[in-house]
Structure 1
């Protein structure tokens, strides 16, 4: 599969724009997995005859975690006559892309970003494969409370995404007597963070910060502090999902629960895709890679049924019925969510096994 850089193709290819963070400061490992899933999906579509005999092709643009760059990429992709835009991992970046796609009347199927308010108002142009942040993070809050953690600290940085996550946790835990305190990592160094955490008496610290730093630095500091030996470190945003986490932290990165969006058992399609992704990535595929593949599976079904007219694609979201790698995919209007949403993908809370950090343990499914 090649990446198109030009406008109309003489071979009549059906083109889909693809957004992913492929260079820093974007989370490049997530972008690599997302793109692997998208590319494998395109390969499988073309091996099965393409879209009415026409090849499917990705037009890939690197967002580098920059909202302005993502919005400019959507403008460019619209001029290149793509039928739809897919992808993106970072929520704030996806929000900028979604707003621009909505304004241009360009269908956008978001693969991995979870921010509830992906657009400022309800839109028919945008749909999403990933669950909304409130759905997953409420389940994470339930997990914490069920494990006996009601005094929770969050190490956070200024961001709409982190602020939204903090609000979800606080709102969900407060009625049950839970307490959430924010520790601003733009003002605190590692030693001061540990002092504040010890003084608060929290039994859990959540990493609502960037990866690899300062997330890795926070983990090292807390693990070394004897006052915090009993504190659970958690990462609802999924920093420990990727192999880089083990490379950076080794055993110190184990035992840190995070959210991932995989079922207890993949579908038969999912099992086949997992093997192909493992070969393509030369490592265990993350849930992000499956999100990429499922995005292409949905768009291929839509394009086969409704053609490449953008308005018809957007109008088809409520009628999607695609067998994905992780279960049947349907889109609906979920309460409080501004886009058409798969409600809901499977949710797991997982950590890396302290006895073997390369192995995952499923702590909770729901």
Structure 2
């Protein structure tokens, strides 16, 4: 049986870094997806292998089921409805399977993702032969939640073809929401286990946004889903500058030690910004007038500008980020970094009344003159979705 799933990436709309120090933050799904195609082999296929095609990095890996059983004999002891944490010993065993393939040095960074795939697959499906294809619209390592989208899409596909009863949308072709809240929560818990393999100690924010979509407000470890009908379109600019998230987080903490009163005031201001952004988005509804929506859009723009200024105060901006800010400001557009900063991606709000030619000019300048990579995406859309190619 064939199934396709897709899960969105995420952005931090407000509150990054300050959230570590007790402030609120707001994350949103974006209309860029990681997609998974899964086909379980039938006896007539005469193919007793588990094959993984990572299309975007041109990696094609295959393991005979007998080899998996040999290396990891406990792979059939898990239950799909009961997510468990992968032990250090199991990671070492699964690493042996990855070592069967000579992963090029340039692609060594995705090894943890392959281990997470093997863990999720064997935990949920056991030792069934299959072919899995993964493709993504999300750039890797740019702070847009690519690993979480991978874990969520993989988990959803595996659960859909497991013994877990999942109620999908009503028939027809195309994408439908994945099950009800209980099944979505199951996907989220499995995806979080995958994220732990990839990142060690993830916050759980990325996989939660990817699973449930829309917006999430988080503070002091508590996550709250926000329902919003407000359509915001963002230009996402990947500066292609790598960053060390741990070092940036540590740098903010060191600055707080040196200037405790000033930095506490910064974090308090960020908390207010995040709360106001959440309030604006949550208050938006389909019954709001067009003028009201434009006013709310302008308020979000101002809050983004203020947030970026405070992120500069924290010392997490970068010359590439400031280049995007200055470039977009020439067109009266507001930008802020998203995520860790120090490079990575920058958000630019594209007002509803902004003309297409202006957007084209901005993108051309950012890409051709600055060497960046641009995407356009709506925020706050659906979470994980599934498609049975017309069969439900």
TM-score when normalising by structure 1: 0.26
Per chain length, whose mean CA-contact separation is higher, i.e. which structure has more relative contact order (CA < 8 Å, sep 6+)? Answer: 2
TM-score when normalising by structure 2: 0.25
Whichever of the two has the greater Rg, that structure is 2
